[in-house]
Amino acid sequence: MAKGINPVKRISKKEIKEDKLVTTYFEARNYWKQNYLNILKIGGAVLALIILVSFWTSSKRSSEYTASYELGIAMMKSSQGNPAIAADELEQVADRFSGTAAGNEALLFVAQTKRLADQNEEALAAYETYIKKGRKDDYLYPAALLGRAACLEDMGNFETAAEVYLAAASANRDLFVAPRFHVDAARCFRLAGLAEKAKQNAQYVLDNYPDSPFAQEAEKESKRFLGL
C-alpha cells in the first residue's frame, strides 16, 4: 500500500444501525420540539423531557437496543399519520417488546395518541397498563400518573383525578412542575365540591413555592373558593 494513504475503514452493520438510531433519536427530538403545544395538552413539557431522557438512556442489551430503535421509527410514523394508525404502530412495539424499557415507553405513547384523539377511555386504559407494568422510580412514572389524572378529570371523575395528581406530585418532588400538580389537585377538589382539600393544596403551593411560576395559578385558584 502506498505511503501516506490510509486504508479504507469498513463500516460494520452494527455501526450503521447505531447511526440510524442516533439519526432517529434526533429526528424524534426535533418532532417533539416542534409539536410541544400538543404535548402540553396531555401534561406539559415534563412529559416530553422525561420521555426523551428515558429513550436515550435505555439498556444496552440487544432487545432493549432493538426496541428503542423500533420505538423511534414508530414515533416518526406517528407524526405523519392519523391518530388511529399511530396508536396501532405504537401498540405493535409495546406488544413485541413487552418487558423492555422501550416497550413500556410505547404504552405511554399509545396513551398520548389516544388522548390527542379524544379517546379518553382508551387512553386511560393505556396509562393504567403502563402504571401496573412500570416501576415507581422510572422516569416516566409521574408522566403516566399525570396522564391518568387528566383523563379522569376530562371524564368528570374529579375527586379521583385530584388524588392521582397528588400521587404524581409525590412520585418525584424534585420535578420543577411538582407544585403544578398540587394546583391541578386543588382545581379538581374544588370541582368535586371538596372545598377544604382544594384550599389546602392551593395554600401548599403558596407556602412552599411562593417564587415558582405556579404560585400565581395557586393564587387564582384560591380566589375561586369563594364560589364554593
Which spans in the chain are helix H?
Answer: 13-34, 36-40, 45-56, 62-78, 83-96, 101-116, 120-133, 141-154, 158-171, 178-191, 195-208, 215-224
Average pLDDT over residues 50-71: 59
Average pLDDT over residues 2-12: 46
How much is the pLDDT for 102?
Answer: 73
Average pLDDT over residues 45-68: 56
Residue 15 predicted with pLDDT over 90: no
Provide the whole-model pTM: 0.66
Residue 5 predicted with pLDDT over 60: no
Q: Which residues contact 149 (CB under 8 A, 6 or more apart)?
A: 161, 162, 164, 165, 167, 168, 184, 188
175, 198 Cβ separation under 8 angstroms? no
102, 72 Cβ separation under 8 angstroms? no
Residue 183 predicted with pLDDT over 90: yes
Which domains does the chain possess?
A: 15-132 (1.25.40), 156-228 (no CATH)
Higher-scoring residue by pLDDT: 184, 78:
184
Residue 13's SS3 state is helix
How much is the pLDDT for 16?
Answer: 41
How much is the pLDDT for 197?
Answer: 95
How much is the pLDDT for 90?
Answer: 78
